[in-house]
Amino acid sequence: MLNNKVAIITGASRGIGFACAERFIQEGAKVVLSDVNDDVGEAAAKSLRDNGGEATYQHCDVSSKQEIQALFDDSVALHGRVDIAVANAGIVHAADILDLEEEDFDRVININLKGVFLTGQIAAKQMIKQPPDEDGFRGSIINMSSVNGVLAIPAITPYVIAKGGVNQWTKCLGIRMANEGVRVNGIGPGSINTEMFQKVADNPQKMQEVMSRTPMQRPGEPDEVAKIAVFLASHYSSYITGQTVYPDGGRMGLNYVVPVAE
């Protein structure tokens, strides 16, 4: 489905980002993983190569325009083009709104919103320079959002604000690039079994609270998100742009809590 496509994924050393890399390679893509956790990122890329995939790793702090530009420039120098860009890097900071420090707010916004903006802008500029493929497409940009781009949790306000901004950025860039052969879409996961979710999974009370608002009564798996990324990166989603898809186990549509088995 993605045969010989070149994909850049930020925040790819683990979790959803790494699952996207694995799934893209299974579909025939060449993958450039980026992260700030270099030891884990290098090991992730090596594991993909050891299994027969074409994967490289590059350090990239997505709050830095210079580092994102270098990531794309080096990827183009290596592979000749970039067909898929997944803006996945993100962090969470929890604090009461009234106690939230300015520097913590800025740190989350710089990575989760500014980083997605810069990644998309640089990706779009690169993609419109490229010749289209046989179907007239130059590329696909995928932004990792969250159900919290729509739903609100005051304890993680900077994260919620950033993800809401990501949804609007996805629409804006999708509309701008609609006639350029570049599609832009988002994925807004609910509760997914990642390292970020582990603190919830390890707390029975918190886990019950989360499952009570999840009709499918289980957290999702990173690969379930990655499969959506494959769809959005491929020609199977050829008439979709500016949209955010929510793999959330039914959470977005729920207006009450459901009983959870003990």
**Please, where are the H alpha helices in 65-156?**
65-79, 102-109, 115-128
> What is the rounded CA–CA span in Å between residue 90 and residue 230?
20
Q: Given 57, 159, 246, 256, which residue is catalytic?
A: 159
Reading across the β-sheet that carries 182-187, which strands appear in turn? Answer: 55-59, 30-35, 6-9, 84-87, 139-144, 182-187, 244-245
DSSP 179-196: TTTEEEEEE---SBSSGG
236 catalytically annotated: no
Determine the Cα–Cα distance for residues 8 and 122; give it in Å rounded to an integer: 12
DSSP label at residue 112:
I
Place of tokens 């802008």: 121
Residues belonging to the active site: 159
